[in-house]
Amino acid sequence: MSNKYYEFFCPVKVIAGKAALEHIPYELTGMGAKRPMIVTDKGVRAAGLLEPVVSACEESGLEIISIYDDVPPDSSTSVVKDIAGIYRNEKCDSLIAIGGGSAIDTAKAVNILVSEGGDDIAKYSGAGVIKKPLKPFLVVPTTAGTGSEVTSVAVITDTKKSVKLPFSSSFLLPNAAVIDPRMTLTLPPHITAATAMDAMTHATEAFTCMAKNPLSDAYATAAIKKISHSLLTVMDNPKDAEGRLELAQASTMAGIAFSNSMVGLVHALGHATGAICHLPHGLCMSLYLPYVLEYNLETIREPLGELLLYLDGPEVYAATPSNRRAEASISSLRKLRDELHKRCKLPRTLKETGSVTEDQLETIAEVALDDGSIMFNPKEVLLEDAREVLKRAWA
Amino acid sequence: MFAKHIQPMVFQARRLYVDVMFQVMGRALQAVSEIDSAVQAEARALPDGFLFEMMVMPHGSRLIVEHIGSGRLHYHGDKAPRPIDLSIQFKHIAHAFLVLSFQEKTSVAFANDRMLVNGEISYAVRMTRILNRLETFILPKLVAQRAVKEYPKSLHLPEKLISAARIYLKVATNFVETARAS
Ligand SMILES: [Fe+2]
């Protein structure tokens, strides 16, 4: 009997493509919601991305009751409490998150408070604390990377105790993710590159880490194919709506993959580096990805070699001897990083970031070792291993 | 309740085995933390008085250890003196049995959603590394390679502790074989 076992879960309706935003009123009224609140950030408003959502709703007679557009990049418990207060005062009955990881996580946490009651979000921290469905909730991602629209977790900083509170429950998942190419069309080049590499890392780690399974594998490989196909095209032609949609879909697919199979050492190092050096998450992912794959190489040779098909296409795959495919996958990713560096200076080493000093590596290694993602890395990581990977990623 | 009538022996034996194995692991965790510097280094990052529990849902066997300072762990049996800080809960006794009979690695069990973590995740990561280390001590190399991700290059622990624990392992292996045959 095989000892293999897995679980796969994704109840999020995906609404994707041309004029997807115009489906929002139908979806919300279908759930009995009449008074939606939008949770977003200043960047989204400045980029003019609020307007198409609001007019899509109002044209259909669904009035947006309240707009909170001040979510900070690193959201906190007090922000969550404030938004929940406005939601209650305005008698809202549903939420629409528009933005990247922070806006989405904030809206997830707000949904806990307005559904479960109270002002103290810390009370609901942890796994499985929430036992019943929350208010109707839609997500409109504006970066093609985090995949937060299909993950059942949220992280909010408790400013008083200066700790990060994790929330995890399948009830945090939105009812629908609305993926409209208009929403990522204006994303600046370096953010396009970094967030796409975050999605690429989600898919690669999902396909090579411990909890990989046939269903997450299918999403992961499809996401990798889309990203390798479209990323450079979009970098050269930012207004390419079709390519933008491909990247946005890939991000959601990679999100579905990794939320069902977890991520590994790239994320552990990335979380640590983000916390210590305040570098954007996607940038850290792009930076560490090849070095971690090299570290894991002998443990993941087979699946990594398989990825060459999706990274470089059937011709290259067929022309590469099977015992060289894993290495070829790594060089393909390195090549992609070189091309991105050419186009938008996306750093490839810690030194190139200009915001990390060599004496910080020890702390990064220590913090990474405490990160939950390290548990699912296919190869055991000890402190000296983390140090070694960081040394190679330095320059 | 129906199942109980069908295979009473197997169920009872499995419960007994998980009970015994929790006791073995509890004692072994304490013993290993008194000798092994790698375990001490991991445990030192836990707060003093930190209580760790492993249990079977909903109200099954439990094992409770406390970090009493300087990386030392103390085994409390199945009674906690205070509220637990970190709890690892198996969803079903069958899953606990898979892990405790070394048929499924602890990290794989996490990955497979066999158990839930209640508490700070960074402490759970540490406790998993300590459990991995412990398993490499208790188990012969061949079995250990199945139970943990990587087998350490060097191990130093008194033969007495190892052999005591391995007696249980023998019980375990026999039991797995009997259970599989039935
Ligand atoms: Fe990520």
Among A158, A182, A206, give the residue marking a domain's end.
A182
For residue B70, give both structure tokens. Answer: 């300087």
Cα(B129)–Cα(A24) distance, integer angstroms: 46
Domain count along chain B: 1
Does residue A244 share a domain with residue A140? no
For residue A314, give both structure tokens. Answer: 């059937």
Residue B5, φ and ψ in degrees, nearest 5 = -75, -25
Does residue A294 share a domain with residue A249? yes
Does residue A122 share a domain with residue A222? no
For residue A301, give both structure tokens. Answer: 């040779």
Domain count along chain A: 2
Three-state secondary-structure class, residue A14 = strand
Q: Among B98, B116, B119, whose Cβ lies nearest the Cβ of A128?
A: B116
Find, among B68, B82, B87, B75, the residue nearest to B26 by Cα. B75
Strands (E), chain A: 13-16, 36-39, 66-68, 94-99, 126-127, 137-141, 153-158, 163-168, 176-179
Residue A194 within a domain: yes
Residue B46 is part of a domain; what is its CATH number?
3.30.1050.10
Q: Among B103, B112, B125, whose Cβ lies nearest the Cβ of A372?
A: B125
Residue range(s) defining the domain that contains residue B116 = 2-176
Cα(B171)–Cα(B173) distance, integer angstroms: 6
Residue B181 within a domain: no
Residue A93 within a domain: yes
Does residue A201 share a domain with residue A274? yes
Does residue A195 share a domain with residue A125? no
Across B156-179, b (16+ Cβ under 10 Å) vs e yields: ebeeebbeebbebbeebeebbeeb
Three-state secondary-structure class, residue A75 = coil
Residue A332 within a domain: yes
Residue A378 has what DSSP assignment? S
Residue range(s) defining the domain that contains residue A21 = 13-182
Among A182, A212, A238, give the residue marking a domain's end.
A182
Residue A326 within a domain: yes
- Please judge whether B125 and A3 are an interchain contact, meaning their C-beta atoms are less than 8 angstroms apart: no
Q: Beta partners for A137?
A: A95
Residue A7 within a domain: no
Select from B99, B129, B146, B154 the residue whose CB has the most chain A CBs within 10 Å, as the one to mutate to test that interface. B129
Cα(B29)–Cα(B88) distance, integer angstroms: 15
Residue B67 within a domain: yes
Does residue A213 share a domain with residue A66? no
Global pTM?
0.87
Angle between helices A214-236 and A189-208 (to 10 degrees): 160
User: Looking at residue B3, what is its pLDDT?
Assistant: 55
Helix segments in chain B, DSSP class H: 2-6, 8-35, 37-44, 93-100, 106-111, 121-138, 141-147, 159-181
pLDDT digits (tens, 9 = 90+) for B12-69: 777 888 888 888 888 888 888 888 888 999 999 999 999 999 999 888 889 999 999 9
Does residue A307 share a domain with residue A233? yes
Residue B27 within a domain: yes
Does residue A110 share a domain with residue A167? yes
- Rounded CA Rg of chain B: 16
For residue B137, give how far its alpha carbon lies from the nearest alpha carbon of chain A (Å): 16
pLDDT score of B182 more than 50: no
Cα(A340)–Cα(B123) distance, integer angstroms: 37
Does residue A194 share a domain with residue A310? yes
Residue B182 within a domain: no
User: Looking at residue B179, what is its pLDDT?
Assistant: 52
User: Is the separation of the CB atoms in A252 and A148 below 8 Å?
Assistant: no
B100: confidence class by pLDDT, cuts 50, 70, 90: confident
Select from B110, B114, B145 the residue whose CB has the most chain A CBs within 10 Å, as the one to mutate to test that interface. B110
Residue A5 within a domain: no
Cα(A308)–Cα(A221) distance, integer angstroms: 10
Cα(A3)–Cα(A135) distance, integer angstroms: 39
Q: What is the pLDDT along chain A (395 residues), one digit of tens a residue?
A: 455 788 899 999 999 999 999 999 999 999 999 999 999 999 999 999 999 999 999 999 999 999 999 999 888 999 999 999 999 999 999 999 999 999 999 999 999 999 999 999 999 988 778 989 999 999 999 998 899 999 999 999 888 887 888 898 999 999 999 999 999 999 999 999 999 999 999 999 999 998 899 999 999 999 999 999 999 999 999 999 999 999 999 999 999 999 998 899 999 999 999 989 999 999 999 999 999 999 999 999 999 999 999 999 999 999 999 999 999 999 999 999 999 999 999 999 999 999 999 999 999 999 999 988 898 899 989 999 999 999 999 98
Q: Which residues of A touch B40 (CB under 8 A)?
A: none
Percent share of chain B, pLDDT over 70: 70
- Please judge whether A127 and B125 are an interchain contact, meaning their C-beta atoms are less than 8 angstroms apart: no
User: Looking at residue A27, what is its pLDDT?
Assistant: 97
- Please judge whether B128 and A375 are an interchain contact, meaning their C-beta atoms are less than 8 angstroms apart: yes
Task: Scan for tokens 């392992």, then name that residue.
Answer: B169
User: Looking at residue B112, what is its pLDDT?
Assistant: 80
Stronger pLDDT, A111 or B6, i.e. the higher one: A111
ipTM: 0.73
Q: Which residues of A touch B118 (CB under 8 A)?
A: 126-128
End-to-end Cα separation, chain A, in angstroms: 48
Residue A76 has what DSSP assignment? B
Residue A342 neighbours by CB under 8 Å, 6+ apart: none
